[in-house]
Structure 1
């Protein structure tokens, strides 16, 4: 089990994550194979050299993985009256941990285990500290211990590197929809800015007074997020935009086709969440960079029902070709995404 990565994903997208890990490992010259079942909410990827694998596949580079961990042990057939003793035995010799997260897959089978995860964590945490396995206070400089409950008598143990893993349990940032948001789509952009940008990038790339375009803006969820950063937004859509946004003085509505509209000068940001063929969107987004119409962008690519990892690769290649220059590109299927991925691109 210690030769494997353990990656969480959206339930139903295990084949896509398995295909991504397999392709990326092969591209790095590393042999390995994936074990995945549709609907489980996680994938295990076994490799001959797990250390080289985790270095070749940093968490921030993965599209379909919400979380990336190094598997330590698979403990099936546990006695529900004493799950702690087998965990202690499995952790012997693995050093000290800075934090404990007891989780369950974000799946139909995993969600009913949330109560057990809380109670088991409350029992396990003091036991680990008594044995010296866990620091008295959370220590982000030490590796993080993940306990993933698959059933009442079955759990996985895994190691999380604080510098190369999601900083949220299950890899899911917990966001709440602001009552003033025009639509739930605002959560997608909020999560994208939180997940795809580093804290320093959010400070430097989202400054008051910047200018942006929101293509396919109606009813204005993404424009609303940018306006909350005091960024001036041109909302481009033939449909209506929330009046409160227009009253803010930060959002201007242009009733035009988002695929045809172009800015008069280079903008700091362009965002786009249009329901269109992903390849068409990818090419158009690349043209924005190729023509220097924007410096940074966040856009969504709606995926087909089959061969979704292959479609992601093709779209990112088309985007890079249309952009024509070096860009920093990060893509991920976010918690608030459905049959889509979100891409951040920056020319600086």
Structure 2
């Protein structure tokens, strides 16, 4: 059986399964998802033996919406004797015709309450497992990020999936999670959503060019200032639009121009800004159309925004909204990359980054 394993936020298994199905179909790679509700992962089974490898090599995880990590499954291991968990894994891999040489080892678990109970086991077993894999010649003596990575993903104390991820397409983080420290000066935890987006959805070149000191930005739905904080900390001038109250220490920076106005009717004060950000609680299609309007009117060069998700058909909702944005930009002949991610610090929303060619 040829399959891939993908991690996601618990409760989003249906959406991740639908996304992989759609992505695979676009590539001519067909199969079906298998998962349990709230398990935090999806196993996608392909009909053809080579398709799992083809999918992993052609689909970077950062170009998906709901996947945190993605690897080709080599073995599904049941462990009968919990006093020796490494032995059965070695035996299962030894039976394979070919195990690629890997430069990294990730021993992981799902982001669930049950998964958190496995964290101690994963940490405890990582070092002896790394030594055992090196002895077998499956893992280089020194870590090499340019090689495939081996993943051992425990779903329970007596079961794990073992597989490999592509060096260019995997997440560099354990469990596919980018953990950030909450800055004490930020007025809300929502600041972590924009920080993660700026770090992971923009290249170093894009971040340096867009978030430069002195550049202007607009934050729609700004109060109390979690997203504005990220921009001000990069010395950007921010037009903060909201009817609520902004944090006093942000106003004291002299970099914030507070505008108690309707975000759907607001226009930038000087005609154009470098970056538009938005985390308003509103229907996703309405926010998507607002963002597209700003981009098409050249009121902003780039945009980073969140789309709040419904309880059902989340993948389909996001797909429809993004297709609308793409169509509007294409009509105006605006060249831009559009990246959509369900980030770790997001909840029932996805983050969209629309970045014009620099």
TM-score by length of 1: 0.96
For residues 3 and 162 of structure 2, what CA distance do their matches in structure 1 show?
A: 11
Structure 1 window deviating more from structure 2 (315-324 vs 231-240): it is 315-324
1:141-178, Cα deviation, whole Å (9 max, x unpaired): 22111111111110111212231011101111110111
Aligned pair in 2 of structure 1 residues 272, 173: CA closer, same or farther (>3 Å)?
A: same
1:217-238, Cα deviation, whole Å (9 max, x unpaired): 0001101001111111111111
- Residue 8 of structure 2 corresponds to which residue in structure 1? 9
1:57-87, Cα deviation, whole Å (9 max, x unpaired): 3322210111111111100134212111222
For residues 288 and 77 of structure 2, what CA distance do their matches in structure 1 show?
A: 44
For residues 320 and 117 of structure 1, what CA distance do their matches in structure 2 show?
A: 42
Secondary structure of the residue that 1:217 maps to in structure 2?
coil
Does the 8 A contact of 1:25 with 1:57 survive in 2?
no
Cα distance, 1:53 vs. partner? 2.2
Does the 8 A contact of 1:286 with 1:321 survive in 2?
no
For residues 133 and 25 of structure 2, what CA distance do their matches in structure 1 show?
A: 38
Does the 8 A contact of 2:53 with 2:72 survive in 1?
no
Instruction: Let me know the Cα RMSD of the aligned residues.
Output: 1.5
Instruction: Indicate whether 1:67 and 2:73 are aligned.
Output: no
- Residue 345 of structure 2 corresponds to which residue in structure 1? 336
1:236-280, Cα deviation, whole Å (9 max, x unpaired): 111111111111121111111111101132211000000001110
- Residue 278 of structure 1 corresponds to which residue in structure 2? 284
- Residue 53 of structure 1 corresponds to which residue in structure 2? 55
Q: Which of 224, 229, 248 is the aligned partner of 2:253?
A: 248
Structure 1 window deviating more from structure 2 (262-271 vs 175-184): it is 262-271
- Residue 195 of structure 1 corresponds to which residue in structure 2? 200
1:1-36, Cα deviation, whole Å (9 max, x unpaired): 5x2121100000000000111122122222111112
For residues 161 and 183 of structure 1, what CA distance do their matches in structure 2 show?
A: 36
Which runs of structure 2 are paired with 1:61-210 in the superposition (5 Å)? 61-92=63-94, 93-210=98-215
For residues 356 and 36 of structure 2, what CA distance do their matches in structure 1 show?
A: 38
Unaligned segments of structure 2, at least 5 residues: none
For residues 282 and 347 of structure 2, what CA distance do their matches in structure 1 show?
A: 15
1:158-216, Cα deviation, whole Å (9 max, x unpaired): 21223101110111111011110010000000111122123333233322121110001
Cα distance, 1:56 vs. partner? 4.4
Does the 8 A contact of 1:208 with 1:229 survive in 2?
yes
Q: Which of 263, 281, 304 is the aligned partner of 1:298?
A: 304
Cα distance, 1:130 vs. partner? 3.0
Secondary structure of the residue that 1:121 maps to in structure 2?
helix
Structure 1 window deviating more from structure 2 (54-63 vs 190-199): it is 54-63
- Residue 19 of structure 1 corresponds to which residue in structure 2? 18
Cα distance, 1:55 vs. partner? 4.3
Does the 8 A contact of 1:289 with 1:347 survive in 2?
no
Secondary structure of the residue that 1:110 maps to in structure 2?
helix
Aligned pair in 2 of structure 1 residues 202, 89: CA closer, same or farther (>3 Å)?
A: farther
Unaligned segments of structure 1, at least 5 residues: none
